[in-house]
Structures are given as C-alpha cells and as structure tokens.
Amino acid sequence: MSPGAHVLQQLDAYRWEIPATYKTGMRVPGLIYADENLIKQIEEDQAVEQLANAAMLPGVIRRAIAMPDIHCGYGFPIGGVAAMRLDDGVISPGAVGYDINCGVRLLATHLTDDEIRPHLAALAERLFRNVPSGVGAHGRMRLTQAEIPEVLQHGAAWAVRRGYGRAEDLRRIESEGTIAGARPDHVSRKALSRGLDQLGTLGSGNHFLEIQRIEEIHDPHTARVFGLLHPGQVTVLMHCGSRGLGHQVCHDYLEVSGRTLPRYGITLPDRQLACVPLASPEGQAYLGAMAGAANFAFANRQVITHWVRESFEEVLKQSAESTGLDIVYDVAHNMAKIEEHAVEGQQMRVCVHRKGATRGFPAGHLEVPVEYREVGHPVLVPGDMGRYSYVLVGTPVAMAETFGSTPHGAGRMRSRGEARRLLRGVDVVDTLAQRGIIVRAASRDLLAEEASEAYKDVADVVRASDGAGLTRTVARLQPLAVVKG
C-alpha cells in the first residue's frame, strides 16, 4: 500500500479527495474519480502520491484530477488531468509524456461479423504486413528532409493531401487532425530524423490495431449519430502515437525544463515533472514542438487508416468506399491543449494537460464536429485484447468538473513481470483463438504482458466514469482480430 493510502477523503460514491494539506507544496487538492472497488486498487500503487505531486505544479487551477483508470506512471500519473493558467502557469513535457498525442481512432464498416469471419485470418495477416510494427520495423514510406516539416505543420491534412485518405476524414478527428501553432523549427534535428521512416508504423507495447464487432448498443440514438448501427457491425480500432519523433521531443524539452527550473524559481518533488512557465520562451517553444509532434501522430494514424482500407480492399476484393471504413472519431489521450473553460464563473483560456485522459466535449460544444454536435463527440476507451472496448460520450458534468476530460482505457492492474509469471506456460495466442479472437503479434513470447490479466476490467472504469456523470456509455465493442507490435 502506498504512503498516501489513507489520505483519501470520500466526497461521494465516485469522488475521493486528496486534501491540499496532505503534502507541503500542494497548491490545490487532488480529486480521483473512482468507485469503492477501483479506489482499493488505486491505493495500492504510487498513483496517489503522483497526483499529489501534480498538484504542486505552478498555476494549476482548482485541483489535480484523476480518471478512474489512474495508475502509477513516471512523474505525472497515467489518467491524470491538470489545467494551468496561461499567465502564471506552467507547461510540463513530463505531464504530456513521451508519446505525444498517443491516441485512438475508430473506423466503422458496413460489414457484419458473419460476413467478415471467413476473411479474418487473411485480414489479420494483411494488416500485420501492411502496417509495420514492433522492434526494427520501418515505415513503408520515407519522408524527405523537406517533407517532414510539412507533416509537423499540417498533420492528418498533409496525409490526406498526399492521397492517404478521404477529404471528409479530417472533420472527424480531434482538432480536425491539425493542431495550430506547430513550430517544426523548435523540433530538434534528432527528433526530425527519428520521424523520417516512422510514418505509418504502429510501435509496440500496448499499441494495437484491432478488427471488432459491436457487441452491445447502450444508447441507440447517440450510436446512430456516430454511425454505429447494430450489434454485429464490424469496426476497426487503432491505438498509436507520435513514435520516436514524439519521444525525442519530450526528452529534449525535459532537458531544457530541468536546466531552467532554477531560473524560474520552480522546485519539484520529481525530476520527471520538470516544467517551464507557459509564457516563457522555453514554454512557447515546447508548445510549438509538441504541436508538431501531435500533428505527426495524427498523420501517422491517417496513413495507417489508408493502409487499413487498402488491406480490406486486397482481401475482400471490394472498394474501401463500399466497405465503409469511415472514421467515427480520433481522440488524443497524451496532450496539453489550450482550451476555453469556465473557471469561477469566468470563461478563460487555460492549458489542459491530459496524460492518459481523453477529451470528451459534450453536446453543443463548438469544437465538436457539426454532425455530432447534438450529442457530443465520441470518447474511445480501449479495454484489453481479450475483452472489450467502449464508445462513450462526454457530458456537461465533465465540462464543469474535469475540464472536459474522461477516461482513456482500462489501466494496468499487474506489472509486466507479474503478468508473465501469472501466465507462465499459457499460450496467449492459442487461448484467445479458442475464444474466436485471432492475434498476430511481432513478439508472441511477450504477449502475456498485454493479456487481459494485466489490465483492470475496463467495464469497471466505465461504470465509475458514468456513475460520476463524466460520460455516458454508447456502445461496447468486442475484438475479432488483434495486430500487436
């Protein structure tokens, strides 16, 4: 049990507060959204301490917030949210994380699970070949030195302009697939060179590409607006980010932040939380570099989308358009974004850090695509490869309490080593195959680290989030075939 285990004060069935008096240096309280069952697991690792540390960041507004999938990360907890004032607040590269704009994209098809089942093995194999993943994989395209700043500037729009995708794709991506204000000139030569042959690659770890079926629709009206029409409908979900380019941007700016902390008079309990004032030259440079890396991630998911469509065309021998494969939505869950929120009755622009948290803007918000504005945009919450994932929608409660933030996944329950020990002698591929789930992985031996047993049940996370009023469940998706790096 962590040292912070008994510090939590229960406010209601789904809200637990870390008082600002818990640790010297906390500027605001911490608030964890969870139910009684999840909070027990949360108390067992260092996540509570990490959230208390996040509450020490200068300029943090109202409270440091954690989603029900909070777990121990490096520095800032995974599942953490912190909004900063623009004038005297900071931006922390560590609170965004190495995988800048790691995110999730969902595509919907016109196919049913019965129609696709005979082709599943071929599709998994084709996706595995067409979308490079794992150690030593390199992209199928190599950008030139002249092209890469363009990718960083324009994101998914660059990819669509180059023929990777459809013009209408962009409307259904958070921020339309392009974060404004990207400054490729603030991205190091090293970071740029890491991106040259990584566009269209999945990575490894918990990143995946999954063919799924809708298992259950909970909110038929909202689901219909999202193009999720009936149980059995086939969808495709992908999870990946900005690859080595993003990792290098984070490393570079952690170095810059660490070096400049004394100059700005900032002291922190964890070096990984290193930050710089938003208004400083270093803060502005990081914002520009981060936006570039985020755009690289949007372009990455866009190129992968194109190759998913090509893979379906090659196997099913019909055009991707007739199969659908339309983007439902694309959300970022490792980002800092300048957004407008109501703070003490005033609308103000703030910088919202979300690390392992998803933006979930509700009905009526102007940043929700027009076709979704009457219901809010989809929130995509992957579970694990053996169970299910969720489509949710954000609410006015989230807007009022969490700066429009919602959960991002199941959250790990067991470390990788524990998962391997627990599943020693178990062939994860065979076990899932017996349940009708095909898995194609670059590193089959280590799949135990990503098995269901390593993760909390995402249904518990969703129940707590819905219970707290942050989200509403729209549909649940079940894996049919999983491609892993």
> Which residues does the annotation mark as catalytic?
408
- Specify burial of residue 373 (Cβ count, 10 A radius: 0-12, 13-18, 19+): middle
Q: Shortest CA distance to 67 belongs to which of 398, 452, 413, 475? A: 398
Nearest-angstrom CA–CA distance, 139 and 196: 9
Give the torsion sign (CA, 8, 13, 14, 15). negative
Given 14, 98, 286, 361, the residue binding other proteins (CB under 8 A) = 98
Residue 45 in contact with other proteins, rule: CB under 8 A: yes
Q: Which is nearer to other proteins, 243 or 365 (by Cβ)? A: 243
Element (H, E) at 302: helix 281-316
- In one-letter notation, the amino acid at residue 411 is G
Given 271, 319, 342, 371, the residue binding other proteins (CB under 8 A) = 271
Q: Which is nearer to other proteins, 212 or 358 (by Cβ)? A: 358
Given 140, 147, 205, 339, the residue binding other proteins (CB under 8 A) = 205
Stretch that binds other proteins, among 190-198, 282-290, 376-384, 390-398 (CB under 8 A): 190-198
- C-beta neighbour count of 299 within 10 angstroms: 30
Minimum separation from the CB atom of position 412 to other proteins (A): 5
Nearest-angstrom CA–CA distance, 79 and 66: 5
Q: Which two tokens stand for residue 274?
A: 């290193």
Residue 35 in contact with other proteins, rule: CB under 8 A: no
Q: Using the CB atoms, write b or e for 5-23: b if 16+ within 10 Å.
A: eebbeeeeebebbbebebb
Minimum separation from the CB atom of position 23 to other proteins (A): 17
Given 110, 125, 134, 429, the residue binding other proteins (CB under 8 A) = 134
Using DSSP's 3-state secondary structure scheme, residue 368 falls into coil
Q: Which is nearer to other proteins, 242 or 323 (by Cβ)? A: 242
Given 190, 230, 263, 349, the residue binding other proteins (CB under 8 A) = 190
Residue 193 in contact with other proteins, rule: CB under 8 A: yes
Nearest-angstrom CA–CA distance, 461 and 467: 10
Residue 251 in contact with other proteins, rule: CB under 8 A: yes
Distances (CA, A) of 325 to 169, 299, 339: 10, 17, 30
Show the binding pattern over residues 141-160: x = contacts other proteins (CB under 8 A), - = does not. --------------------
Residue 129 in contact with other proteins, rule: CB under 8 A: no
Using DSSP's 3-state secondary structure scheme, residue 120 falls into helix
Minimum separation from the CB atom of position 132 to other proteins (A): 9
Residue 113 in contact with other proteins, rule: CB under 8 A: no
Give the torsion sign (CA, 254, 257, 259, 262). negative
Q: How distant is the alpha carbon of residue 38 from its chain centre?
A: 20
Show the binding pattern over residues 383-422: x = contacts other proteins (CB under 8 A), - = does not. -----------------------------x--xxxx----
Given 109, 178, 198, 358, the residue binding other proteins (CB under 8 A) = 198
Minimum separation from the CB atom of position 418 to other proteins (A): 7
Nearest-angstrom CA–CA distance, 286 and 246: 12
Residue 370 in contact with other proteins, rule: CB under 8 A: no
Nearest-angstrom CA–CA distance, 69 and 50: 14
Given 29, 75, 360, 479, the residue binding other proteins (CB under 8 A) = 75
Stretch that binds other proteins, among 91-99, 122-130, 143-151, 431-439 (CB under 8 A): 91-99
Which residue ranges make up the site for other proteins (CB under 8 A)?
A: 45-47, 71-75, 78, 94, 97-99, 134-138, 190, 193-194, 196, 198, 203-206, 243-244, 247-248, 250-251, 254-255, 258-259, 270-272, 274, 412, 415-418, 442-443, 445-446, 449, 485
